[in-house]
A and B are shown apart, each in its own frame.
Chain A
């Protein structure tokens, strides 16, 4: 991690000018330049960053990616003078995929470190335990990687960087069903987290409303390593679609064992099909051939500030392409910095108000904001349909063909 940081800092000399432009945003409120004579910002602005870097191995790839993205953004913000002479000081805690740890660290961030805001949380269950504390104490939160529902419902200080996945499915799944003429579906999901079980429930309800009959439902937990029993049951049900919602770290296992199972159903996955744990695993990505998914972000997107982000990331990381979680971490921290700049204050309620007014934010996930009054706290970007073909994610339309 330190080595990566050094490389990032080194590359910043080349990209600092671009960085300022990358994080720019339009807002319905007139931003005041921080660091100018009228700036009310302190020299150091503490931002809490609780993320899951360790704990269950099934999610650690998520948290470390988000943390890399957050660090990348902080380095850009501080070196580019985006907040004038003020610097962001990220107070990082590894919440170890533990609800207890998330609660304790959130209390510590607010009570001991006196952070002005929080940019963090990798898992919905951890957030749902800790988020109400931040809400109660009036600390604005930009939740980084939560894909479950019920996040912004915690209160008006809560914002989310990642769209509720059920909204992505509502966008992509009807198109997939129509294109594949599917009439039956089997489901495989992680039953031990509210995130994946909630996604399963929402997706099944959606597909059944489209006339797709459920023929098998199988579950795994984070401790499951062998899925042959579940896959055999699914194979026996002979579905048209296999809908999978499991923790990102378990997706390679599912794919590899699916490849051995002889199941021919069309695979409907989630954003993990585009994550580094899958794309970087030759056996998994081969087994994912023709798999369909909807994602808010792909590296090749030309929306918003993504081309600039990808080029800057590659410059700072030996040509390595960023993954989804890097992008999320980057945009979450930039959004918070933008709100602080627009508020020209570290007063939590003013930051909260500024966050809710952001529009035209030029981020890695496109040109978007958090100013939709119908969905307070939620980002306004949409989804992109993708398909895995020959080891790569390619844009999918109803006329796209794929051979297994």
Chain B
């Protein structure tokens, strides 16, 4: 039981990373970005290519994060900003992100020839760390530590720094922020870049966990990311972390006590239950306090 709880927390750590990126982009742009799935993949591919070119793993991870961040910003500055300026509806923006998803997915698919690629894990932590009577794979422990660290840094940045406060102002109202002298386009770009970096990080951990990488790896993770932020509360950093951990625990307990077959079904049924009781999610925040 204790070991399975540890497994659930470790699984939830990766889910939290996924949720943090999506919740940031939602908080600032108010768009559910389906292309996020491909930011996950492109970031992991960036790291893969860097490792294949003998870049040390730590720097390869940073390169992967930068790749995803730049792709995310490029998508935002071209497609999304153009549509925002024309006053396009949120629904149309979501459809546009689906289109971007297919474009990015096709490129990744062509690059990989539809094959599952080997993701070298020699430079990542391996083996297990014994904690009392339980053991935790080192990679998942690292994922947990990074997830918590990212939450702390994001929280500090948004609440204690000038830039973070500017981000929150833009999230509340971009026109108001502009009147106050905040460059909302730069804030949008920054939020999107950080979101892309977090997507990459989750994708890299996922690839390292299986030692494989495919152009379609992000698809299932995107569903998880959306579930995390809905459960935790859309736009809430704390909610993304707690939501991710809760989702991981529920999935593991379901697998253990019910069946792996019903793992997803029961997990999402519970989310529906939570939303009936708390429509804004576990840590849902009011509109004026998003991000």
**B216 part of interface (Cβ distance < 8 Å):** yes
Looking at the assembled complex, report how far the CB atom of B260 sits from the nearest CB atom of chain A, in whole angstroms.
4
Contacts of A229 in B (CB 8 A): 4, 7-8, 11, 251-252, 255-256, 260
Q: Is the interface of A mostly helix, strand, loop or mixed?
A: helix
Report A211-247 residues with CB < 8 Å from chain B CB.
Answer: 218-221, 223-226, 228-230, 232-233
A13 within 8 A of B: no
- Among listed A106-114, A250-258, A295-303, interface-contacting one: A250-258
A347 at the interface (CB under 8 A from B): no
Taking the closest CB of chain B, its distance from the CB of A394, in whole angstroms, is 22
A349 on the B face (CB < 8 A): no
Q: Which of A121-140 contact B (CB under 8 A)?
A: none
A143 vs B7: C-alpha distance in the bound complex, in angstroms? 41
* Residue among A218, A233, A260, A280 making CB contact with B128, cutoff 8 Å: A260
A143 to chain B, nearest CB (A): 21
Given contacts A53-B114, A54-B114, A57-B216, contact A256 B211 (CB under 8 A): yes
Residues B261 and A60 in contact, CB atoms below 8 Å apart: no
A residues 56-77 near B (Cβ < 8 Å) are: 56-58, 60-61, 63-64
Does any Cβ of A come within 8 Å of B81's Cβ?
Answer: no
- Determine whether the beta carbon of A57 is less than 8 Å from that of B260: no
Contacts of B135 in A (CB 8 A): 262
The closest CB in chain B to the CB of A286 belongs to B211
Name which residue of chain B comes closest to A281, CB basis: B118
Identify the closest chain A residue to B221 (Cβ).
Answer: A225
Contact with A along B1-26 (1 / 0, CB 8 A): 00110011011001000000000000
**CA separation between A232 and B255, bound complex, in Å?**
11
Name the B residues within 8 Å of A274 (CB-CB).
none
CA distance A230 to B263 in the complex (A): 12
Chain A hits for B264, CB < 8 A: 221, 223
The segment from B57-65, B119-127, B278-286 that touches chain A is: B119-127
A57-B214, A223-B220, A232-B4 are known contacts. Are A64 and B114 too (CB-CB below 8 A)? yes
The docked-state distance in angstroms from the alpha carbon of A260 to that of B220 is 23
Contacts of A256 in B (CB 8 A): 121, 209-211
CB within 8 A of A252: which of B120, B127, B137, B212?
Answer: B212
Tell me whether A280 and B7 are in contact (CB under 8 A).
no
A277 in complex: contacting residue of B116, B206, B260, CB < 8 Å: B116
Q: Which residues of B contact A221 (CB under 8 A)?
A: 260-261, 264
Complex Cα gap A166–B62 (Å): 47
Q: By the criterion CB–CB under 8 Å, are A220 and B260 in contact?
A: yes
Contact bitstring A1-26, B, C-beta under 8 A = 1, else 0: 10000000000000000000000000
A50: Cβ under 8 A from any B Cβ: no
For B121, list chain A residues within 8 Å (CB).
256, 283
Q: Which of B11, B109, B115, B116 contacts A226, CB < 8 Å?
A: B11
CB distance from B64 to the nearest CB of A (A): 18
Q: How far is the CA of A219 from the CA of B260 in the complex (A)?
A: 5
Chain A's nearest CB lies how many Å from the CB of B4?
6
Assess the A60–B214 pair: CB atoms within 8 A: yes
The reply to whether the CB of B140 lies closer than 8 angstroms to some CB of chain A is yes
Within 8 A of A (CB), among B65-124: 109, 113-116, 118, 120-122
Chain A contacts for B118, CB-based, 8 A: 252, 277, 280-284
Instruction: Decide if A90 is an interface residue (CB 8 Å cutoff).
Output: no
Q: Does B176 contact A (CB under 8 A)?
A: no
Q: How far is the CB of B15 from chain A (nearest CB, A)?
A: 10
Cβ-neighbour of A57 out of B122, B209, B215 (below 8 A):
B215
Asked if B161 CB lies within 8 Å of chain A CBs, one says no
- A253 and B209 in contact, given A228-B137, A233-B256 (Cβ under 8 angstroms): yes
Q: Which of A64, A223, A228 contacts B113 (CB 8 A)?
A: A64
Interface presence of A148 (CB below 8 A): no
A156: interface (CB < 8 Å): no
Does A249 lie at the interface of the complex (its beta carbon under 8 Å from any beta carbon of B)?
A: yes
Of all chain A residues, which has the CB nearest B251? A229
A193 contacts the other chain (Cβ, under 8 Å)? no
Contact B261 A260 (CB under 8 A): no
Bound-complex Cα distance A229 to B114 (A): 29
Query: Contact at B216–A262, with CB atoms within 8 Å?
Result: no
Whether, in the assembled complex, A86 has its beta carbon less than 8 Å from a beta carbon of chain B, the answer is: no
Interface centre among B7, B8, B11, B127, by most A CB within 10 Å? B7
A249 pairs with B255, CB closer than 8 A = no
In whole angstroms, how far apart are the Cα atoms of A260 and B7 in the complex? Answer: 12
Is B214 touching A252 in the complex (CB atoms < 8 A)? no
- Kindly list chain A residues whose C-beta atoms are within 8 Å of the C-beta of B173: none
Contacts of A64 in B (CB 8 A): 113-115
**B210 & A56 in contact (Cβ 8 Å cutoff):** no
Shortest CB-to-CB span from B222 to chain A, Å, is: 11
Mark B residues whose CB is within 8 Å of A.
3-4, 7-8, 10-11, 14, 109, 113-116, 118, 120-122, 126-128, 135, 137, 139-140, 206, 209-212, 214-217, 220-221, 251-252, 255-256, 259-261, 264
14 contacts between A and B (CB under 8 A): A60-B214, A221-B260, A224-B260, A225-B206, A225-B217, A228-B137, A229-B4, A229-B11, A232-B3, A232-B7, A256-B210, A260-B128, A280-B118, A283-B118
